[in-house]
Homo-oligomer: A and B are copies of this chain.
């Protein structure tokens, strides 16, 4: 079972409990919204993964694919889980998270036990980015209201990718930021699910703003992250006809790749 930190806002907000008759129930915390009260997709994925872990002999989500059926706000939710065969190496389950409005998210959750995972080959070393203290905080110091998600995460953008905030869009849709939970809880695979969907769309970097709802998102967790900051890089590699990918990589504080994800999202035309 994943360790819970009772004092962690993230753990409290993603807690699930076994429901009578199977599955799990959760209380969606309106604080993890990205604007207009709409909850962040990675936040919902973390809840679905927790529900799937209840029925797994393994403690870590290593592959989670989620489809977002409708935008969700805070309130009570239920998660039904259909468990597949569980083996010594891994187990699988399909989770459906529903609110009063109906099914909000379906997720395939593969769980395993991540221990020492020695690296044989790595194509993507952590890019060189200034230390978090020299980066640009997402939380505005001037009192401008920010979405709840931005308050619950400590996000520090690589200044090389923030030209768009000053009217100087980049040539390439790429955002990079240090990230950690504001509550001081260290990163783990559940937090990586959140981090993989927490940056704005990478198209912001080229000055193309607007909400880009996720259609389908796959996150692969490749190793347990070390304590400290994670570096999150989000890139659009193909933008076409109102659709874009968001290709994300996450390195931990030791420079190790700990997660990679890809989503298909809709772009405002």
- Residues of chain A at the chain B interface (Cβ within 8 Å): 62-63, 65, 67, 69-70, 84-85, 89-90, 92, 94, 96, 102-103, 106, 108, 110, 114, 116-124, 172-173, 206, 215-216, 218, 220, 222-223, 235-241, 243, 245, 257, 260, 262, 264, 266
Contact = CB atoms under 8 A, between A and B. Distances in A.
A248 to B, nearest CB: 11
Which has the most chain B C-beta neighbours within 10 Å: A84, A206, A239?
A84
Main secondary structure of the interface of A (DSSP, over half): strand
Which has the most chain B C-beta neighbours within 10 Å: A110, A120, A124, A245?
A120
A237 B123 CA distance: 5
A123 B238 contact: yes
Contacts of A239: 119-122
For the complex formed by this chain, how many copies does it contain in all? 2
A243 B216 contact: no
B121 A238 contact: yes
Contact of A92 (B106, B240, B262): B106
A243 B117 contact: yes
B84 A237 contact: no
Given A65-B218, A70-B85, A110-B215, A260 B237 contact: yes
Given A67-B92, A70-B85, A108-B65, A262 B220 contact: yes
A33 B70 CA distance: 38
Contacts of A102: 85
A90 to B, nearest CB: 7
B240 A119 contact: yes
A31 to B, nearest CB: 26
A236 B110 CA distance: 20
Contacts of A69: 84-85, 92
Contacts of A245: 220, 222, 260
Contacts of A70: 85
Given A63-B216, A67-B84, A262 B264 contact: no
